[in-house]
Each structure stands twice: as structure tokens, then as C-alpha cells.
Amino acid sequence: MPQPALRDLCLKLIAPSVDRFLALQWSDGRFAAEPERDTEEWDFYQQQYLLPAALLYTLEDPRNPWRGDARLWQAILRNGRHLVSRVAPDGSMTWRLRGVVLEHPFVCQRLTCAWLMAYQRLARCLPEADAELWRSTILRACEWLVQRHLLPHREVQRFTSHDVGTGTNHFSLYLSLIYLAGRELGKPDWVGLSSGLMKRLIADQRPGGYWEEHHGPTLAYNYLTYHGVDQYTAWSGDELGKEALRRGLALHRHWTFPDGTAVECVDGRVRHQSGVWPWGLAGFTRWPEGRGFARLLIESMEGRELSGEMLARLADAFLMLHEGEEESPPQAHALYRATLDQVSVVHKEGPWLYGLSGHCSPRWPENQFCLDRQALASVWREGIGLVLDGSNSKCQPGLATFCRGAGEQADSLPLKAELLTTGEEGEEAVEVSYASFTATLRARVVDSASLELAASVRAQPGPEQVMLTLVPNTSFGERVILPGGAEVMLREEPIAARVGASGGTLAFGNMQMRLPPQTLIEYPISPFNSYSADNTSPPSANRLVVRSPVGEEWTRFLFVSS
């Protein structure tokens, strides 16, 4: 039986969402993820449902029951009028969401582009007054972006956050939006400005297939930068972007777990995400190997409750993707290996996939969104999912893979690294240098049921030991079995347990983690949160960690699936 087309997969996820969004549209016309309440907050993510709504209202397809639907049409009109009301006379918006209130106005380029693409599909259907309001308001928002972001940076050659004053992903999406707005809304000067900048942004891609936000890769946000480059390439016909898109595809299709989530240990901005980021899907489908990868990502979204923004990305993909012959993604193969910048490696063998990171970056303490690159290993297993969380953190040396000392004087930030060849078949190793010690981390798949991590350290003389910290992927409310057999539930109460001289076993989920002597188990550790008002995480994000002293002799951890 042939596989469904990629567009059919997108439509299968988009169409069933309508009833939920219609039920949750508030009296002022906004789309929401919760019942109406009195609040000053505004969720611009959910407003992007306007694009899939416009797609479904206009799409002629026997599997689309919403073509010309009166209820959907009224919801579209009400939401459009709501969006107009939320844009200030100067074109700006106000961010009030999840307790975070930005002190300065902004324009959400993701929402504005979804709105503009909806306008493209609906312009002939809209009442004249609504069409003019949509057009004029979108123009004001885009003019705000041009004046505040594009014109002040029209001469830049590098596109990191240091150079353009915002996330590189934002700037890429500004450029694709302004290009489309210039073309569709009669602003030829915007077309020239955005295309000139985009050509230089494309050229600024690193050889590994990513664009730097600060220093080194950030896989999650690279999806967004990639998306902007693909939009521009598709809309302009500029061939310059195609090779950059192909390099980006090679990066993402290898550094992705089989459940569609990114290998987080090489990400300098985002902790491990539980779901797929469906940006860039259409760009991936330019090639057979990318179409197989896009299928993996889309299928990984099945069964999830998708936000308006996620559905907008699927609608975007539906409109722009390329159907054709497919090659299976690396995740479907029994064995593959890839390196990144010659310092990090990803290795899949049977049901296991792991990454070792040697990427090093200077800290950026003033930027809450830039994490400290201090985590070196991620582990995933088929049937279980993420086993070892390799998320980076900020101002938390206690969550670093290797650390010597504590507090502000802790030596926990890698300075340089290289991949090693150990001579053992199937084994990967990275050697990482710190200010006062050098650490080596090795990983190998023992068999289909077990994987070993081993570490050793050469340290300069000093009173403090080097500690190795690993973060098993446990969840709030989960029951774990400590060494000695005590079963505890991970809630808010603290847990501290030490392994005896003969070692011990920590059991969580369907995994056993066999620990070396002197290992300490600690809970809870609350991770740094880039996206909250005070950078704190709720109790549901609490992490359990295992800490072990490391010296020149190999310290070994064995993960065994049950």
C-alpha cells in the first residue's frame, strides 16, 4: 500500500483542529488555547491559526470538509478584526504572555507573515473594508520592522545576535516577511533591501549547515532561520539559497532523534524539547532524502494537540512543499554516524542513538537566551525515548557534565575539544579541555539492551575533585527506585542518596542506570528557564541528577533497558 502524500499528512493534522479552535475563540475574536477569561495577556502564537483557517476555507479537496464553511468564515473575519485592534498606530504590538511583559514594543514576524499569507488566499473573498484594514495594518507592522531592524543593519556582514541586535532566526524571518510584503503590497524598495540582506545572511551560514545565534549551533532555532531562507528562496527564485538549504538539511536529518526531536547537547540556546519544531518542512522536501526526513517530522506530530503556530507551519508546508520520490531518513537505518565541526559526533546503532558534544562557546551573561555550553552527552533509546538529558543551562555549574569547584569560581565551561579515535569498533570519544583539567568522555553501544558511558580526567594539582554530573530523563511525578531498593516519587520533596562501595542501580521508567561507587543522587534541581519572567522553572521541570567523582581511572555508567 503506497504511503500518503506529504500534503495529505499535513491536511490530516490541520483539518481536525477546526472544531477546537472555533470552540475556544473568545468574544473579542482572538484564538486561544483555553476558555475565555479576564486577562491582559495576549497569545500571538495562537493567532497564527488564521493561516490554516484560510487554507481550509479556500481549499478544494474532497478530504476538506471546511471549504466555504460559514462558521469558519465568521471566525476568520472576527480574528482579522481582532488582529487589527492589537496593532498600534505605529505598527507595533505589545508582548504580555505567561507572566513576561516586554518593556519595549515589538512586531511578531511569525504572526505577521501568517497573516500576510492568509491575506494572499482570502483577498478576493474579504469584504472591501476588511481587506483594506488587513492590508494597511500589515503594511504598518512591516514598516515598523523595516525602520527598527532592517535599515539600521543594512550594511552588516555577520548575522549573529551580536551583529543584528536580535536572534538570527528573527532576522531571517524579518527578511522573508519583508520580501513577500514588498512584492505583494507594492513596496519595491523593501524587495531590494530584504533580498540584499538575505543574500549576505545565506553566505554567513557555517560549513556545518547552521547559522550562529551567538557562537556555535543552536539546532532548534536553526529550523526557524532555515525556514526564512527557504521562504525567500521559494518566493524570489534566487538560486543562491539552495546549497545552504541542502547543507541545513544534512545537519538536521542527522542530529535528530527518531522521535523527531533535536539532539540537545549541541544546542546553545534551547533545552531538550518534547515535541517537533515543524519549521523548514517545505525546504527539506526539495530533495528525496529531505522528503523522507520531512515525513518523519510530520508523522511525529500525530496525536499531539497542536498550537495555532504549529498548525500555521503545517499550512505553510502544505502550500510550499515539493512532492516526489523519497529516501528513508537516517533514523530508519540500523547504523549511522555524523560529525559536526569536527568536535561533536552523533552515533546510531540498533535501538540506541547518542550524541557527544565538544562545542565550546564563551558565556554571554547579559543574554538570558544564550545558555552555557557545559553538557556533553545525550542518549535516546527506541521504545523509551530520551534516556540521558544533555540540555545546557545557564549560571548552573552543578548541571555541567564536568565541574571542579562551586559557585562563581567553578571550572565548568569547556574551552576547546576534539574527537578521538579510540581503536574500539563502534566507540566514540571526545576530549574536552577546561581551565584546570582535561576530561575524556567515551560512549559505546554494548548490545541492543545496554549502552556504556565512561569518563576519565587529568587534573592540575588542587584540593577540589572533578565531578561528573549526568541527568537521567526522569519526570515530575514519576516513581524511581534508588540503590538499595527504596521506591520514591519525584515531587517537590528533596531526595539525597549515596551509592556504596560496590556501586548500585538507579531504576527509572524502563531503564536501569548502573552507578559506580561514591555516586550521589540528588533531587530536585530546578533548571534555568530562559522564557520565564524570573528565569525560574515550575516544580514540574525539576531534574534528578547523579554525581560522581572522576579521576584518571575510568569511571563507568551502564544504561540497561528492561
What percent of the chain is modeled with pLDDT above 90?
A: 95
Q: Are residues 326 and 343 in the same domain?
A: no
Give me the residues paired with residue 340 across strands: 344
Mean pLDDT across 364-380: 96
Q: Are residues 210 and 268 in the same domain?
A: yes
Q: Are residues 288 and 345 in the same domain?
A: no
pLDDT of 243 higher than 90:
yes
Answer whether 402's CB lies under 8 Å from 466's CB.
yes
Name the 3-class secondary structure at 258: coil
Q: Are residues 324 and 347 in the same domain?
A: no
Q: Are residues 347 and 436 in the same domain?
A: yes
* b/e code 350-378 from CB counts within 10 Å (16+ = b): ebbbbbbbbbbbebbeebebbbbbbbbbb
Q: Are residues 315 and 347 in the same domain?
A: no
441: pLDDT confidence band, cut at 50, 70 and 90?
very high
Amino acid at 186: G
Q: Are residues 159 and 222 in the same domain?
A: yes
Cell numbers linked to 116: 500576510
- Kindly report, residue by residue over 151-181, the tens digit of the pLDDT: 999 999 999 999 999 999 999 999 999 999 9
510 assigned to some structural domain: yes
Mean pLDDT across 334-345: 97
**Cα of 88 vs its chain's centroid, Å:** 30
How many domains does the chain fold into? Answer: 2
* Residue listed under C-alpha cell 469558519: 72
Q: Are residues 138 and 97 in the same domain?
A: yes
Q: Are residues 381 and 314 in the same domain?
A: no
What pLDDT shows up at residue 100? 80
Give me the residues paired with residue 420 across strands: 429
Read off the CATH number of the domain in which 491 is found.
Answer: 2.70.98
- Kindly report, residue by residue over 309-323, the tens digit of the pLDDT: 999 999 999 999 999
Mean pLDDT across 48-66: 97
Answer whether 265's CB lies under 8 Å from 392's CB.
yes
Instruction: Provide φ and ψ at 336, rounded to 5°.
Output: -160, 165
- Kindly report, residue by residue over 192-212, the tens digit of the pLDDT: 999 999 999 999 999 999 999
Name the 3-class secondary structure at 29: coil
Quick one: angle between helices 240-254 and 288-300, nearest 10?
A: 50
67 assigned to some structural domain: yes
Q: Which of 331, 346, 365 is where one domain is finished?
A: 331
Q: Which of 331, 355, 370 is where one domain is finished?
A: 331
Cell numbers linked to 164: 543584528
Q: Is 543 exposed, middle or buried (0-12, 13-18, 19+ CB in 10 A)?
A: buried
What percent of the chain is modeled with pLDDT above 70?
A: 100
* Residue listed under C-alpha cell 538507579: 506
290: pLDDT confidence band, cut at 50, 70 and 90?
very high
* b/e code 418-448 from CB counts within 10 Å (16+ = b): ebbeeeeeebbbbbbbbeebbbbbbbbbeee
pLDDT of 1 higher than 80:
no
What pLDDT shows up at residue 424? 86
Q: Are residues 264 and 360 in the same domain?
A: no
Q: Which helix (H) or strand (E) holds 521?
A: strand 520-525
Q: Which of 288, 314, 331 is where one domain is finished?
A: 331
Closest CA to 104 of 113, 95, 115, 114: 95
153 assigned to some structural domain: yes
1 assigned to some structural domain: no
Closest CA to 390 of 262, 476, 518, 483: 262
Instruction: Provide φ and ψ at 3, rounded to 5°.
Output: -70, 150
- Kindly report, residue by residue over 527-547, the tens digit of the pLDDT: 999 999 899 999 999 999 999
Q: Are residues 297 and 444 in the same domain?
A: no
How far apart CA 292 and CA 288 sit, in angstroms, is 7
What pLDDT shows up at residue 408? 86
Give me the residues paired with residue 555 across strands: 455
Read off the CATH number of the domain in which 126 is found.
Answer: 1.50.10.10
Domain extent at residue 518: 334-561
Q: Are residues 326 and 340 in the same domain?
A: no
- Kindly report, residue by residue over 341-363, the tens digit of the pLDDT: 999 999 999 999 999 999 999 99
CB atoms within 10 A of CB 123: 13
Q: Work out the mean pLDDT of the chain and round it to a whole number.
A: 96
